[in-house]
Each structure stands twice: as C-alpha cells, then as structure tokens.
Amino acid sequence: MCRLLGYLGSPVQVDQLLCEPPHSLVVQAYQPQEMESALMNADGFGIGWYHPQKNAFPYLYRQTTPIWSDVNLPQITRYVESGCLLGYVRSATPGLAVDFSNCQPFSSEGLSLPHPLLFTHNGYIEKFRQTLYRPLRLSLSDEVYLHIHGTTDSEHIFGLILNQLYTQPKLSLAQAVETALNQLADIAQAQGNIYFCANIVISDGQQLVATRFASRSPAPSLYWLDHDVNYPAGTIIASEPLFEGDWKKCPEQSIIRVGEDGTVNINQVAPRCYL
C-alpha cells in the first residue's frame, strides 16, 4: 500500500500541501494512520504538477529514497506554485523493485493524447508478476505497450486507462477509468479470481478523477475536502486527512470527479466484482 494526494484549484505553493500540514505526505510516509498491509512508505516518492500558465507537459520530481530524507524537497516545493498537482509516497509491493522506473506519478508523455496525464495508484494486484502481468500487457495496443517502462501493477493499470483513451478518443477521462476498471476485473476473474485494489488519482490538468475501489471490501482509505478555510478555491483528495477539517470519506466502489469549476461529482460504479 502507498499514500497519495491530489489537488485542483487556485494555484498554491506545493509545500503548503506536501510538507507543511501536520499529517502531510511526509508524515504519512513514516507514520500513516490508516494503512492495513504495511507500516510505512519508505520506498520512494514523487510529485507531479502542471504549470499555472503554460500549456506544457506536467513536471515531475521523483526519487527512490524516503521522502523525509530528501533535503532538496522543501527548497523545491517552496518556490513551485500549481493549481493542479499529484503527490505520492511508496510502500513497494514485495517482488516489485525499488527503482526509478517504478516511481510514481506516471505520465502520458510520449503518447499522442489530447491532454497530458498524470497518474498515481494506491493498491496492488495479488502476486502480480505471476498472475496478471502477461494478460494485462497482451491487452494493450503496441503504442501503449511500449510506453510502459517499469514493472509495477500500478503502471499497468495506468496502461489500461491509456489504452482506452488512445483507442477510443471520444471517451471522457472518467469513462476511460471506469472502463479500464471493468476490464481489469474481467481479466482478473478469468485468471482465477485474482484479488486487486485500485485507489487512483489521475488528472489532465483541468480535472481530477479518483477511484476508491477493491474487488472485495474494504477498499483502501480515501478522502476529499473542498471549500476549506485554508483552500477556499480548491479541492483535495488524499489517502488520509492532512489536517483538521470537514474531510469526507469517499464511498467504496466509486468514482470521484472534480471539474475545472470545482464541482465534485461522486458516482457509484458497478465494476464486475467477483469476491
């Protein structure tokens, strides 16, 4: 399991979300409160953000070291502002290497899509390398197949979403995410009812789409907050609340979309669960 964070709204200094809150991602890396299958998130971290003015690919800063040990992070995040960012601290699934190619967020840079994407995932696929690794790869187009550089279950779930958008460009981001989850459930069932959980935050710089989903309950924790006194023009999605406030727990088996205007829509989805 890992911990993740997404923000959409008026531009803020990245350190205000990533480092300063009393239960920030830095704290969640060594003292998470709602993780069930690990004690800490010491296997790397990453942040990705969109420039508030330039129409450019999002920027990435990723490391394989624990987030609390990076002396450059406070300096960088103090001088970066963004209205859309994703953050992540990793607890590596056993058997999946701690190396740079497996660091999140992942991006769509290199693929021809209408909007560049950032993606984070908290969850895992049961015995991924032995179960769904090859079936998932075989379901991808050549272009998306070649886009995957690492070995994680997370990047392959991202691949399913990219494949939907690449092969069906009329799909919305939320539709692509839901279709990919259903596809993952079908493949997992066909391979012997393989367990997976998939809390996702993905963005194209103009919206956030998140999921709280697992093929059996309980799904990993996920919360959202909007109209907070400190962020009146922004919405935060996070694995655990960052500070005291009116945080709302996302329902299980749901897709949460935050629009460019700040509107939050939550839809129950019915992926083809089997457990």
Q: Which of 2, 84, 103, 197 is catalytic?
A: 2
Tokens 């908290």 belong to residue: 122
Q: Are 9 and 262 in contact (CB under 8 A)?
A: yes
State the DSSP H helix or E strand holding residue 73, giving kind and residue range, or none if neither: helix 73-78
Residue 119 CA to residue 47 CA, distance in Å, equals 10
The 3-state DSSP class for residue 83 equals strand
Query: 10 Å Cβ neighbour count for 75?
Result: 11
Residue 150 CA to residue 118 CA, distance in Å, equals 16
Residue 132 CA to residue 183 CA, distance in Å, equals 12
Q: Are 82 and 14 in contact (CB under 8 A)?
A: yes
Side-chain half-sphere CA neighbours of 62 within 13 A? 22
Q: Active-site residue 84, yes or no?
A: no
Q: Are 239 and 4 in contact (CB under 8 A)?
A: yes
Q: What is the rounded (10 degree) CA torsion for 98, 41, 19, 234?
A: 100
Residue 106 CA to residue 154 CA, distance in Å, equals 9
Residue 226 CA to residue 121 CA, distance in Å, equals 21
| Catalytic residue list | 2
